[in-house]
Amino acid sequence: MTTSGLVPAHTGKQTATGSALTVEDLDVDLGGRPVLRGVRLHVEPGELVGLIGPNGAGKTTLLRSVLALLRPRAGRVLVGGVPSRPGRSVIGYVPQRHEFAWEFPISVEQAVLSGRTGRIGLLRRPGAADWRAAAEAIDRVRLGELRRRPVGELSGGQRQRVLVARALALQPTLLLLDEPFTGLDLPTQELLDELFAGLAAEGKALLMTTHDLVGAMESCARLVLLNQRVIADGRPDELRDPQVWMRTFGVSERSPLLRIVRAG
């Protein structure tokens, strides 16, 4: 297959000066197996970028690499022009819901406040600024009336909002979102869509993995198509070539996926 019809990936060469996130030539292996190869991308302040690809494409691995939780085989990650390291307070991370211990006996407020642990320190008590940041984050996701409720009693949509508030309590400049819409009802999806758009308008940078292709094409400034490598990177209206999607997802030209792309 030729690549002449593909939209070229952004190189990220301008990123060290102004980008919120720069990934340069990143290779990552897990268990001796190549997961990411030569990945290059950038996210600017004020952008909501969708990271799209099939299961096993390396999307979550890329997020964990940005968080410096994985050691790359090659390449580097810069956050605000500085090499990423574990616990960077400028990065907020919203994991998939199953990764959080919902059975733990804590309230919504305590769960959100835990997002600031890296900034507070393990052996220090939260101060007034920490409580204020947690309260503002809770209000931002419209959970103010439930701040005292145990997290184990929350619905799926409420739990997702807790995870978003927990990340926002850190007051990050870069927000990483791992499948934030999975299993949510439409009102919660709309609430989060509005919130993420508002955060981008305020100048925060957001990188979101998602399987909601229609929603991503509607809400994201750019889409990065990933399958071990960045296959294409551009605005949704630039990514109309069926070959891009066929190569990313390994589907044929008869796939319903292509009808979604054309309709979008």
User: Which pLDDT band holds residue 262 (cuts at 50, 70, 90)?
Assistant: confident
- The 10s digit of each residue's pLDDT in 242-254 is 999 999 999 998 8
What is the reported pTM? 0.89
CA–CA gap between residue 229 and residue 27 (Å, rounded): 9
Domain boundaries, the chain: 1-90+173-264, 98-171
Q: Coil, helix or strand for 171?
A: coil
Say which DSSP state 249 is in. Answer: H
Non-local CB neighbours of 62 within 8 Å, separated by 6+ positions: 23, 26, 28, 36, 39, 51, 226
In percent, the amount of the chain with pLDDT more than 70 equals 91
Question: Which stretch of 26-40, 81-95, 141-155 has the lowest confidence by average pLDDT?
Answer: 81-95
Comparing CA positions, the residue from 211, 160, 180 lying closest to residue 55 is 211
User: Which pLDDT band holds residue 259 (cuts at 50, 70, 90)?
Assistant: confident
Q: Which pLDDT belongs to residue 144?
A: 95
CA–CA gap between residue 137 and residue 161 (Å, rounded): 10
- The 10s digit of each residue's pLDDT in 7-25 is 444 433 343 447 899 999 9
Q: Which pLDDT belongs to residue 264?
A: 66
Residue 91, phi then psi, degrees to nearest 5 = -110, 120
How big is the chain, counted in residues? Answer: 264
Of residues 174 and 7, more confidently modeled: 174
Amino acid identity, position 75: G
pLDDT(68) > 80: yes
Give me the architecture of the 1-90+173-264 domain, per CATH. 3-Layer(aba) Sandwich (3.40)
